[in-house]
């Protein structure tokens, strides 16, 4: 037993040191930036208070404790996160969990629609030359349009026909997440080599059988890779979709409110929440990937 687990423990130890070093380095740089970026305001504070004989420690402590800092210190963000996550009722509008859930539901709905749409388009593209030629340029063009420009239009247009809330945001998520899935799955469906295709041909198998027994399983690794990209894009889409709606809630509205009132700490807390959300989503997809690929006999 110990002989089996020992190498694994050493592996995690081997990883923990560089990760810790990285985190430490980032914290040091962050605190340095905090001092630097908040310095001007701190000087003004001392000025206004008529305090001329401040020490360097008072100055540094001041830059770490401002109400509306240019850059909040890491511990300020942590305190804000703690206050808005743990100290609030999750149904309260002041709870970050409440807002994260609103964003997450739009993200998931948009992601599922985007993945299904992406797979469907990839199936069409792989099986039909005309579709491949005519559709692909449009798909690529669709992704060159800046999402910030069309997101408000989508929201406004859909609101005018009575669609508000979850659906418009999800549609923006769909719009961003289907593309990596199309590209990945077209590649995946085309990944079987000539030999594997010839084999199916010798059995006189139908197109459907070639798809089900060869193309689909071959595309599995591609599916998970593109889903990871897609879910991150989906989250961005949902947040962007929340910006124009303003007060309706969600991490996006939280960002917007924060920037309205100069609540930088609140903005950073929302950003961290979004990053944690996206990391969790990618982690979950990675977990499913590992389970599925293991069942497909991929060499460990």
Partner 1 sequence: MNVAMPGHTTVKSDPVPANFGKPVIEARDLDLTFQTGDGPVHALSKINLTVRQGEFVSFIGPSGCGKTTLLRVIADLEQPTGGAISVNGLSPEAARKARAYGYVFQAPALYPWRTIGKNIALPLEVMGFSAAERQTRIRDNLALVDLAGFENKFPWQLSGGMQQRASIARALSFDPDMLLMDEPFGALDEIVRDHLNEQLLKLWAKTQKTVVFVTHSIPEAVFLSTKIVVMSPRPGRIHEVIDCDLGTDRPLEIRETPEFLAIAARVRDGLRAGHSYD
Nearer to partner 1, 79 or 220 (CB): 220
Tell me how far, at minimum, the Cβ of 295 lies from partner 1, in Å: 9
Question: Look-up: residue for tokens 């993200």?
Answer: 107
Nearer to partner 1, 169 or 215 (CB): 215
Nearer to partner 1, 217 or 262 (CB): 217
Question: By the 8 A CB rule, do 58 and 252 touch?
Answer: no
Q: Which of 139, 77, 118 lies closest to 276 in space, CA to CA?
A: 77
Tell me how far, at minimum, the Cβ of 184 lies from partner 1, in Å: 18
Q: At what angle do helices 216-245 and 251-260 cross, to 10 degrees?
A: 30
Tell me how far, at minimum, the Cβ of 200 lies from partner 1, in Å: 7
Nearer to partner 1, 164 or 205 (CB): 205
**Separation between Cα atoms, residue 222 and residue 189, nearest integer Å:** 9
Tell me how far, at minimum, the Cβ of 198 lies from partner 1, in Å: 5
Nearer to partner 1, 117 or 213 (CB): 213
Structure tokens of 201? 């041909």
Residues 88-147 that bind partner 1 (CB under 8 A): none
Give the HSE-up count for residue 168: Cα atoms under 13 Å, Cβ half-sphere.
Answer: 23
Q: Which residues of 41-60 are buried (b: 16+ CB within 10 A; e: fewer)?
A: ebeebeeeeeeeeeeeeebb
Tell me how far, at minimum, the Cβ of 289 lies from partner 1, in Å: 14
* x/- track of binding to partner 1 for residues 166-205 (CB under 8 A): -----------------------------xx-xxxxxxxx
Question: Look-up: residue for tokens 């449009």?
Answer: 138
Residues 201-240 that bind partner 1 (CB under 8 A): 201-205, 209, 213-214, 217, 220
Q: At what angle do helices 96-127 and 166-189 cross, to 10 degrees?
A: 40
Residue 291 lies near partner 1 (rule: CB under 8 A): no
**Site for partner 1 (CB under 8 A): how many residues?**
19
Question: By the 8 A CB rule, do 107 and 174 touch?
Answer: no
Tell me how far, at minimum, the Cβ of 287 lies from partner 1, in Å: 19
First to last CA, the chain: 19
Tell me how far, at minimum, the Cβ of 222 lies from partner 1, in Å: 13
Q: Which residues bind partner 1 (CB under 8 A)?
A: 195-196, 198-205, 209, 213-214, 217, 220, 296-299
């Amino acid at each position: 037993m110990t002989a089996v687990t020992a190498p694994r423990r050493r592996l995690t130890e081997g990883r923990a040191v560089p990760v810790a070093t990285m985190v430490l380095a980032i914290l040091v740089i962050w605190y340095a930036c905090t001092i630097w970026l908040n310095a001007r305001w701190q000087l003004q504070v001392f000025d206004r208070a008529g305090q001329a004989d401040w020490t360097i420690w008072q100055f540094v402590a001041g830059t770490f404790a401002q109400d509306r800092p240019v850059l909040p210190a890491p511990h300020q963000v942590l305190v804000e996160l703690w206050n808005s996550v743990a100290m609030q009722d999750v149904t309260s509008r002041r709870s970050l969990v409440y807002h994260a859930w609103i964003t997450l539901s739009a993200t998931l709905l948009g992601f599922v629609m985007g993945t299904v749409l992406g797979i469907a388009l990839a199936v069409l593209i792989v099986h039909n030359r005309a579709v491949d030629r005519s559709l692909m340029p449009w798909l690529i063009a669709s992704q060159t349009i800046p999402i910030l420009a069309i997101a408000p239009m989508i929201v406004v247009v859909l609101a005018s026909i009575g669609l508000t809330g979850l659906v418009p945001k999800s549609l923006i998520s769909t719009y961003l997440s289907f593309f990596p899935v199309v590209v990945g799955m077209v590649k995946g469906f085309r990944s079987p080599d000539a030999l594997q295709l010839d084999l199916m041909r010798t059995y006189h198998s139908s197109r459907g059988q070639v798809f089900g027994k060869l193309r689909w399983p071959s595309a599995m690794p591609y599916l998970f890779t593109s889903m990871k990209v897609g879910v991150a894009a989906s989250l961005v889409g949902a947040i962007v979709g929340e910006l124009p709606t303003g007060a309706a809630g969600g991490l996006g509205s939280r960002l917007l409110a924060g920037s309205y009132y100069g609540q930088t700490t609140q903005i950073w807390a929302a950003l961290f929440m979004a990053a944690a959300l996206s990391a969790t989503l990618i982690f979950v997809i990675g977990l499913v990937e590992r389970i599925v690929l293991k069942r497909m006999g991929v060499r460990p």
